[in-house]
């Protein structure tokens, strides 16, 4: 069965329009038969990965086990997670900045063991798959929340992700917080 080899480049990840993941396609003997460079989103979204391979390599791609799975996206994450480092525990810290056009806004620093691994905006943080893609793109790590992925219904996934966010997102610094006691948390 052909395999994939994936490497991540920190240098590439910081460039605009970066494609920090080099994906090599290996034959049964382990020899390279081609490769593409993709972004975090291109790597993590199965359909998007197939489109990237077609656009960048001109070849149709399919992973038999993934194509046969009831939840192809989750099956694809299992494949990718067996190749790149997977993390289950991240924390998110709001950081206030001032934008001359929009005023004060927050970005969210994603940390692991106290070190920043990624920074995301609010819209990215609220979407589980977009968050996964941003973290992978910036850090080379695959974040997985099994309780979110176990939900089959999209609304159930959203609710599970919001529950997870309530446990991993810190409150803003007291100087930035709207109120000492925020009742919606």
139: Cβ–Cβ under 8 A, 6 or more apart, which residues?
Answer: 13, 110, 112, 117, 118
The answer to the question of residue 30 being in a domain is yes
Structural domain including 127 reads 86-168
The answer to the question of residue 174 being in a domain is no
Are 54 and 95 part of one and the same domain?
no
Supply the pLDDT for residue 173.
84
From the first residue on, what is the mean pLDDT of each consecutive set of 10 residues in the chain (185 residues)?
Answer: 88 86 94 95 97 96 95 96 95 92 93 95 97 97 96 94 96 81 73
Query: Rounded to whole angstroms, how far apart are CA atoms 64 and 156?
Result: 28
18 contacts 12 by C-beta, under 8 angstroms: yes
Are 114 and 157 part of one and the same domain?
yes
Tell me the C-alpha to C-alpha distance, in Å, between residue 51 and each of 20, 35, 145.
17, 14, 25
Supply the pLDDT for residue 1.
56
Are 98 and 138 part of one and the same domain?
yes
Hey, what are 134's tokens? 């941003």
Q: How many structural domains is the chain composed of?
A: 2
Residue that finishes a domain, picked among 41, 69, 97:
69
Are 156 and 102 part of one and the same domain?
yes
Supply the pLDDT for residue 170.
93
Total-model pTM? 0.90
Supply the pLDDT for residue 122.
96
Query: Rounded to whole angstroms, how far apart are CA atoms 72 and 185?
Result: 33
């Amino acid at each position: 069965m052909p395999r994939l080899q994936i490497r991540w480049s920190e240098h590439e990840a910081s460039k605009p329009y970066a494609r920090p993941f080099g994906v090599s396609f290996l034959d049964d003997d382990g020899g390279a038969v081609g490769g593409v460079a993709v972004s975090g989103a291109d790597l993590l979204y199965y359909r998007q990965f197939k489109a990237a391979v077609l656009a960048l390599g001109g070849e149709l791609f399919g992973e038999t086990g993934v194509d046969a799975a009831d939840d192809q996206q989750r099956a694809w994450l299992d494949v990718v997670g067996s190749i790149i480092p997977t993390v289950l525990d991240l924390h998110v810290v709001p950081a206030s900045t001032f934008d001359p056009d929009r005023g004060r806004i927050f970005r969210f620093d994603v940390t692991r063991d106290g070190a920043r691994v990624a920074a995301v905006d609010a819209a990215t943080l609220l979407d589980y798959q977009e968050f996964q893609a941003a973290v992978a793109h910036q850090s080379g790590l695959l974040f997985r929340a099994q309780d979110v992925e176990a939900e089959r219904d999209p609304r159930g996934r959203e609710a599970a992700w919001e529950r997870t966010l309530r446990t991993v997102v810190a409150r803003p610094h007291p100087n930035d917080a709207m109120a000492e006691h925020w009742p919606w948390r």
